[in-house]
Amino acid sequence: MDFQFSDEARMAIDGAKRFAVEKLGPGAAERDEKAEVEVKLLKELGELGYLGMTVPEEHGGSALGAVAYAGSVVEVAKVDAGVAVAMSVQNSLVNDAIEHFGTEAQKGEFLPKLASGGWIGCFSLTEANAGSDPASMRTTAVKDGDGYLLNGTKNFTTNGAIADAVIVFTRCDLGGKPANSAFLLKKGTPGFSIGKHENKMGIRSSSTTEMVFTNCRLPKEALLGEEGKGLKIALTTLDGGRIGIAAQAIGIAEAALDESVRYSKERVQFGKPIAELEGIQFMLADMATEVEVAKTMLFRVAWMKESGAKRYTKEAAMLKLFASEMSHRVCHKAIQVHGGYGFMKEYKVERLYRDQRITEIYEGTSEIQRFVIARGILG
């Protein structure tokens, strides 16, 4: 058993940290306040290779692997969790889906642009009436001559407003039986437009929008993977996505811990720093322990993916469940350590607390993770 990062993984993670602190740090609070999505920063991350970390080199990626990727998302999330989710979606939902299910033509056209930050991608599964139960989606793809005609509205799509490449999941008719198919299309395709932009509680530096399809005609080459296998593609891809979201949750928690350690040494009450009070020390000790446990789990599941485990569904669900709920507990305590100041926008923990909340919801709510885990252990 070897708990060392490879040289490259360590350097990649260090580089992500430096980029996050120097480039993302200065504007993070303002982007949150104004709900500003800065595509330029995301593209800069892409130019350095951070948006194509698991894409093979022949498709323009750096193929550094899931461990380096997970560690890099942690570093970005410590500073700006909105940028971290954009990075996670692009790497593990968009690139991975194309890499595993795309045709050679699709890989050749999309991956080099996505892996270098030239293009931003999104993964559009959820609908207003199909969240935890994606099989009930209503967006349709109907055969139309040689291609397909798409109609319907997707919602809550991360990177929606800034996406150049869109993966969308639809209902389809497979020889009389209802099924689901996935499609890969480009921005500007006639019949496709961006709907409502959501005004969110947290991760406000990320874009979340509706995606509207009105008689949107796609050629048969736009089909991603086999016809009728859409849901399988979505669920398999989400296993990897959960590593990214767990990393995001852990980054937020680690930042909350760092802020709390610093603040507790500076804040004086009853004539001494509150860090000398056992009540505060116990909170900090619990926070640090929880972060450590989640991090260890993160790198283990990332390693499983990297070393080619066929399925790691149960482990990814456990990781995402634990990391997101852990992040909730840690951010909660971080506000407690800060007292009234933690409730104020001047202090970073206020933003971390809001940013953390979504990690328990997207890419499968905690309840859905428990359901997946239970199925995994009960068989």
Partner 1 sequence: MNIAVLLRQVPDTEAKVVPDPDLRGRIMESEIKFILNPYDEYAVEEAVRIIERGGLAPGGQVPGGAGGLPLSGGGGEAVGFCIGPDRAETALRSALALGLARAVLVSDPAAVEADVVTQGRILAAAIKGFAPSLILAGRELIDTQEDALAAVVAHFLDIPHVLGAGKITLDGEKAVVLREVEGGSLEIAASLPAAVSCSKGLNEPRYPSLMAIKRSKAKEIRKVSLAELGVQSGPQKSRIAELKAPPPRAAGVRVEGEPAVVAAKGIEWMADVAKVI
Ligand X SMILES: Cc1cc2nc3c(=O)[nH]c(=O)nc-3n(C[C@H](O)[C@H](O)[C@H](O)COP(=O)(O)OP(=O)(O)OC[C@H]3O[C@@H](n4cnc5c(N)ncnc54)[C@H](O)[C@@H]3O)c2cc1C
Catalytic positions, please?
363
* Binding at 62: pick from partner 1, ligand X, none (beta carbon under 5-8 Å per type): partner 1
Q: Please report whether residue 7 would count as binding partner 1 according to CB under 8 A.
A: yes
Token pair listed for 59: 């498709």
Token pair listed for 161: 């407003």
Q: Please report whether residue 362 would count as binding ligand X according to CB under 6 A.
A: yes
Q: Which span (50-58, 246-254, 265-273, 366-374) binds ligand X, by CB under 6 A?
A: 366-374
Q: Please report whether residue 359 would count as binding ligand X according to CB under 6 A.
A: no
Which residues, in sequence order, are CB contacts of 324 under 8 Å at separation 6+?
A: 245, 246, 249, 356, 359, 360, 366
Helix (H) or strand (E) holding 292: helix 278-306
Mask for 233-262, x = binds partner 1 (CB under 8 A): ------------------------------
**Residue environment code for 178-202, b if the CB has 16+ CB neighbours within 10 A, otherwise e:** ebbbbbbbeeebeebebeeebebeb
Cite the beta strand spans of 219-362 per DSSP E: 223-224, 268-269, 272-273
Cβ–Cβ under 8 Å, residues 323 and 363? no
Q: Please report whether residue 361 would count as binding ligand X according to CB under 6 A.
A: yes
Q: Which span (32-40, 179-187, 345-353, 363-371) binds ligand X, by CB under 6 A?
A: 363-371
In whole angstroms, what is the distance from residue 13 CA to residue 5 CA? 10
* Binding at 89: pick from partner 1, ligand X, none (beta carbon under 5-8 Å per type): ligand X
Nearest residue to ligand X by CB is: 131
Token pair listed for 163: 């996406």
Q: Please report whether residue 292 would count as binding partner 1 according to CB under 8 A.
A: no
Q: Please report whether residue 213 would count as binding ligand X according to CB under 6 A.
A: no
**Measured from the CB atom, is 65 or 364 closer to ligand X?**
364
**Residue environment code for 306-328, b if the CB has 16+ CB neighbours within 10 A, otherwise e:** beeeeebbbbbbbbbbbbbbbbb
Q: Which span (97-105, 189-197, 270-278, 358-366) binds ligand X, by CB under 6 A?
A: 358-366
Hey, which residues between 92 and 121 contact ligand X (CB under 6 A)?
A: none
**Measured from the CB atom, is 126 or 181 closer to ligand X?**
126
3 state SS of 15: helix
Mask for 27-66, x = binds partner 1 (CB under 8 A): --------------------xxxx--x---x----xxx--
Neighbours of 300 (CB within 10 A): 14
Burial class (CB in 10 A: 0-12, 13-18, 19+), 175: exposed
**Measured from the CB atom, is 68 or 323 closer to partner 1?**
68
Q: Please report whether residue 89 would count as binding ligand X according to CB under 6 A.
A: yes
Q: Which span (4-12, 89-97, 173-181, 322-330) binds partner 1, by CB under 8 A?
A: 4-12
DSSP label of 347 = S
In whole angstroms, what is the distance from residue 327 CA to residue 321 CA? 10
In whole angstroms, what is the distance from residue 103 CA to residue 178 CA? 24
**Measured from the CB atom, is 10 or 34 closer to ligand X?**
34
Helix (H) or strand (E) holding 332: helix 313-338
Q: Please report whether residue 42 would count as binding ligand X according to CB under 6 A.
A: no
Q: Please report whether residue 330 would count as binding partner 1 according to CB under 8 A.
A: no
Among 171, 200, 242, 351, binds ligand X (CB under 6 A): 200
Q: Please report whether residue 162 would count as binding partner 1 according to CB under 8 A.
A: no
**Measured from the CB atom, is 7 or 146 closer to partner 1?**
7
Minimum CB distance to ligand X, residue 179 (Å): 18
DSSP characters over 205-249 = TS-EEEEEEEEEEE-GGGEESSTTBHHHHHHHHHHHHHHHHHHHH
Q: Please report whether residue 303 would count as binding ligand X according to CB under 6 A.
A: no
Nearest-CA neighbor of 121 among 161, 155, 83? 161
Question: Which chain residues interact with ligand X by CB under 6 A?
Answer: 89, 123-126, 131-132, 156-158, 200, 208, 358, 361-365, 367-368, 371
Question: Which chain residues interact with partner 1 by CB under 8 A?
Answer: 7-8, 10-12, 14-15, 18-19, 47-50, 53, 57, 62-64, 68
